[in-house]
Amino acid sequence: MTWDYFIVGQGLAGSILAYKLLKHGLKVLVFDDPGLLKSSTVAAGIYNPFTGRKLVKTYMADQLFPYLLSFYKDLQREMGVQLLYELPMYRPFLSVEEQNEWGARLFEDGYSQYINGIIKPTEALNQVVNPMGGLMLRKSGFVDTAILINSMTELLKQHSAYRSERFLYQELKLSEDQVEYQSHLARKVIFCEGPSLGNNVFFNWLPLIPVKGELLEIELQEPLNCIVNRGVFILPVNGSHCKVGSTFDHEHLNWKVTEKAKIQLLQKLNKLISIPYRVTGHTAGVRPASADRRPFIGLHPKHEPLGIFNGLGTKGVSLAPHFAEEFFNYLEGGKPLAKDVTISRYFSLYYNKN
């Protein structure tokens, strides 16, 4: 059989890219290894225009955020399931300086559109420690990534575009303008293997820096109606049922939960929460981060029919919709990729290795 694209991996990267290609009437065959875990189904799914301890605007926030909202809204309409949950994000203040700084930013161009308001100490939330009030941000929320992946698998099956099996690199036959795999032909194969990129014999020269993360699930005595973020995040996925996360571990790159991470999360949580809760779950996963924290997108330096969409790191939910669109425009329209995401920034690593 002949296809336009093979896609290897059906996490967020492979799902959203496959969806774009299908929407444009292209023939896609997706391979996903059921024996591997997905970073995407472990993820809390949060999108949030600010990041880090100092709360700076995230990479390309002004372009990514309007697009991601319309993308997930369209997708959930088409799938007939709720994927997008828009929730404000609350950050308790720790000092008067912070109160003043954010009070001034309320009127600054570039910030004001993301700020819902300043919560005064007299209006402080009951569920968390916030005697000085805090900052309420908007354009944040979460995507139910597990439902997204499952719904996408069903959609792919309806298009006869899904194979639940490991893609074997050694069985891929390359020619100048197409690939052959087990008697199937395609114009290109796009690899979206997330943290398993290291197994890919064609792209393992790219500097993937995987980062393990762990999350707790808790049941709060009272429901929360916003995400709280200070040291850890508390994400109310369903009223009083919350996810708490997450840890960052560059050394132990397995998918096992640890007592050490649980203690670390509980210590931070106990500083933030002011009502009783009980722990109901604990999960772990590995994020596919890149050395410069930018995605890996593009075609192989020597074999044009091979491409990659990976390196979504800690922000798959906000990066995947925009960059799948950008990759599509490159693949089918020849529009150049942005300099900071194209894998050509790392071609020297490939040539030094070969």
Ligand X SMILES: Cc1cc2nc3c(=O)[nH]c(=O)nc-3n(C[C@H](O)[C@H](O)[C@H](O)COP(=O)(O)OP(=O)(O)OC[C@H]3O[C@@H](n4cnc5c(N)ncnc54)[C@H](O)[C@@H]3O)c2cc1C
- Write out the residues near ligand X by the rule CB under 6 A: 8-14, 31-33, 36, 38-40, 42-46, 166-167, 192-196, 213, 215, 245-246, 285-288, 310, 312-318
Q: Which residues pair with 215 in a beta bridge?
A: 245, 283
> Which ranges of the chain does DSSP label H, i.e. alpha helix?
12-23, 39-42, 61-79, 96-105, 145-158, 259-272, 316-333, 347-353
* Min CB(23)–ligand X separation in Å: 18
Closest approach of ligand X to the CB of residue 190, in Å: 11
Q: 3-state DSSP helix/strand/coil percent for the chain, to nearest 5?
A: 35, 30, 40
CB atoms within 10 A of CB 341: 24
Give the shortest CB-313-to-ligand X separation in angstroms.
6
CB of 99 to ligand X, least distance (A): 27
Cβ closer to ligand X: 36 or 60? 36
C-beta closer to ligand X: residue 194 or 307: 194
Q: b/e for 11-38, b at 16 or more Cβ within 10 A? A: bbbbbbbbbbbbeeebbbbbbbbeeebb
Q: Please, which residue, 170 or 352, has the CB nearer to ligand X?
A: 170
CB of 59 to ligand X, least distance (A): 12
Q: Shortest gap between Cβ of 345 and ligand X (angstroms)?
A: 18
Smallest distance, ligand X to C-beta of residue 33, A: 4
Q: Which is nearer to ligand X, 49 or 245 (CB)?
A: 245
Amino acid in the structure at residue 101: E
User: Residue 10 or residue 130: which is nearer to ligand X going by CB?
Assistant: 10
CB nearer to ligand X: give 96 or 201: 201
| C-beta closer to ligand X: residue 45 or 133 | 45
The smaller minimum CB distance to ligand X, of residues 45 and 298, is found at: 45
The phi and psi torsions of 31 (rounded to 5 degrees) equal -110, 130
- 8 Å CB contact between 173 and 78: no
Q: What is the distance between the terminal CA atoms of the chain, rounded to a whole angstrom?
A: 33
Q: In terms of CB distance, is 133 or 316 closer to ligand X?
A: 316
Least separation, in Å, of the C-beta of 295 and ligand X? 9
- SS3 call for 135: strand
Yes or no: say if 266 and 218 are a contact pair by the CB < 8 Å rule: no
Q: Which residue has the tokens 């020269």?
A: 205
Q: Is omega for the bond preceding 240 within 30 degrees of 0, making it cis?
A: no
Taking the complex as a whole, how short is the minimal distance between the CB of residue 223 and ligand X, in angstroms?
20
| Tokens matching residue 7 | 């896609």
Please tell me the number of Cα atoms within 13 Å of 57 on its side-chain side.
Answer: 17
Q: Which helix (H) or strand (E) holds 179?
A: strand 179-181
